[in-house]
Each structure stands twice: as C-alpha cells, then as structure tokens.
Amino acid sequence: MTQENDPRITRVGSWIRRWRIDELPQLLNILRGEMSWIGPRPEAEALSQWYEKELPFYRYRHIVRPGISGWAQINQGMCTKVDDVLEKLHCDFYYIKNFSPGSMR
C-alpha cells in the first residue's frame, strides 16, 4: 500500500499521479461498462478480501459498479488504517444510498 511521501515513487511517477494521467486507461473500462465515473473506488483483490474479514458488510460496497473516483476519495483521501477504511466504507454506503442510480430501484 502506498503512503504519503512513499520512497518508491519517482519524480516522473509523482508528476503522472499529480496530474492524474495514470487514470486515463480507466476510460476504456468506462466505455466497456465495467466502471463508472463515480462510485466506490476498487481495491486490490487481496486488500478487499482482508477488509471483508475485518469489517462487517464490506462486500456490500460491490453492489454498484466501481468508479474512477468516489465519495470517500472526495471526503477522505488516502487511508491506511482499518478505522480509516471503515470511515471510507461509510462514505461508500452513503454514496450508494443517496447518489447511485443503482440504489433507486
């Protein structure tokens, strides 16, 4: 998991990330219908499986299409602790309940 001031990030990588150029390939996923612009941000599969064991109801964030950005990223940013992930989960559920077209069934 990356952290703030991560020594593995190069100057070029930092620039690419700052300007969000690394997200451009996700446009293909949107065009294929696999992602949306806004929705719960996908996690690495191993992290997602670990969170499902640690946090009740975590898997329910997957009932809507993942997004390039999400309510949690807007309100919270990067998180590395389980308590922060729980807060992110609450933001994801808030989005699913209040903003997601999938939640209006």
Instruction: Report yes or no on 92 lying in a domain.
Output: yes
- Tell me the residue range of the domain where 90 lies: 36-104
**Cβ atoms 61, 92 nearer than 8 A:** yes
- Between CA 32 and CA 26 the distance in angstroms is 10
Instruction: Report yes or no on 74 lying in a domain.
Output: yes
Report how many domains make up the chain.
1
pLDDT 10s digit of each residue in the chain, 105 long?
A: 667 788 898 999 889 988 889 888 999 999 999 999 988 988 889 989 999 999 989 999 999 999 988 888 888 867 778 888 899 999 999 988 887 565 444
- Between CA 27 and CA 34 the distance in angstroms is 10
